[in-house]
Amino acid sequence: MQQGTPEGREEPGQRLWQRLPPNPLSELRQVAEEQERAGQALLRLEIGEPSFRTPPHITAAALASLQEEAQTYGPSCGWPWLRELLAEKIRRINGYEVSPANIGVTVGGTGAVQLALLATVEAGDEVLLPDPGWPHYYRQLAIVGARPVPYPLDPASGWLPDLPELERRVSTRTRLLIINSPGNPTGAVFPRDVVAALLDFARRHRLLLLSDECYDELVFEGEHVSPATLLTPAERERGSFIGVYSFSKTYAMTGWRIGYLVAGQTLMRSLSQVLDASYTSLPLATQRAAAAALRGPQDCVAQMRTAYRQRRDRAVALLKRYGRYEYTPHGAFYILVKTSSQQDRGHRSNSSASAQPNAFALELLRQRKVLVVPGSLFGPQTVDYVRVSLGAEEETIEQGLSAICELCEEREHAPGVGEARKHSKELEKY
């Protein structure tokens, strides 16, 4: 026990983190680092990282700021000229009107979600979040001491929310509903009627709705529908909605760490206090780069979107050739690939080496030198899946997906698996 800690009490950090499961990527990345140190080339499909460089006009704006301007503190919610441009972008792309006073500039979309939770959720509150969903939601909720309550996305519908199951999970302690469209890890784009139903659910249960729209400009089919477009201005001002956005994926600016959020002005006052206490302000040069992204030519966005769609199409075609196609992602740049059937998983559960949720990903990495994210990281719904990032180059995607499909076939034809399937079908007769 550490000195000064009352006997029987846990350290605050222990209280926050002890209930989180181990991150399966930690083991995989350790193995990957060992392989790379040994000179082995890996196919990396694990991270949501665009293969593109940040467009030159954006980088040039940052360099000009560094050379010509004093890099001083700025307003905690962002410089007014950037917030004006962001209000224009919200109107143009997301389809609803806000003023610059409704916007706060953040350290990426990740920072926007964390700040929203810090400003709105207390210890003991419950938060509904998608399963499968972005794994950082769980860790960010742990920071505020809130309880995550996953609601299932239905694979049979292309990973849309299961609304009856959502109703079963709400309680008197529920404070917030998180939705994410286009989705990570699914690539699902929620149709307008689904967004309307989610918004109606939030209204009926008096929940704040946090809409994670970080992939809003990466839509291949359908349309991106922000819940804010279905709210009146008065409803938005009452603080029933927080929109989260990012430059990371739209402009290939992941390492620049700049995002923003939108909320009613009363709620924004609380958010600005959290912003100020968290990091005071973002670097001026980064905000100049973001302004250049918004003011400059948008053909770079269209070109990257077209490339991601082509990669999606080739991935889907390859999965169809191997007989492993399940669905078509309509946005973002990810696809979930199912790696085992229920019968296979039941048969292999007797083996301690294969019982781990990330066993397939480890086998893929060690045998085929392909690094992907185990589906277990995103929630219980995707234990039998891996996520493949379509942000990588086409050749890497095709080689990696081929390796996944071939390993799946090998495992399915391993001794004993066929007998287990036959036995299971025999039991179905009774």
The residue extents of the domains of the chain are 12-52+300-427, 56-295
Which of 254, 405, 406 lies closest to 337, judged by CA?
A: 405
pLDDT value of residue 174: 98
Which of 341, 280, 335, 314 lies closest to 159, judged by CA?
A: 335
Cα atoms found within 13 Å of the Cα of residue 134, Cβ hemisphere only: 25
The CATH number of 12-52+300-427 is 3.90.1150.10
pLDDT value of residue 164: 95
Q: Which residues contact 386 (CB under 8 A, 6 or more apart)?
A: 336, 337, 339, 360, 361, 364, 372, 373, 374, 375, 404
Hey, which bits of 142-212 come out as E strands? 147-154, 160-161, 174-180, 208-212
pLDDT value of residue 414: 76
pLDDT value of residue 26: 85
266: three-class secondary structure by DSSP:
helix
pLDDT value of residue 412: 87
Match 């990426």 to its residue by tokens.
108
Alpha-carbon torsion 316, 317, 318, 320, what sign?
positive
Number of CB atoms found within 10 A of residue 69's CB: 11
Tell which CATH architecture fits domain 56-295. Answer: 3-Layer(aba) Sandwich (3.40)
Alpha-carbon torsion 62, 68, 71, 74, what sign?
negative
CA 211 from centre of chain: 12
Number of CB atoms found within 10 A of residue 122's CB: 11
Which tokens belong to 21?
């499961």
179: three-class secondary structure by DSSP:
strand
Which of 104, 310, 331 lies closest to 215, judged by CA?
A: 331
Cis check: omega of the bond before 164, within 30 degrees of 0 = no
Which parts of the chain register pLDDT below 70? 1-19, 21, 341-357, 415-430
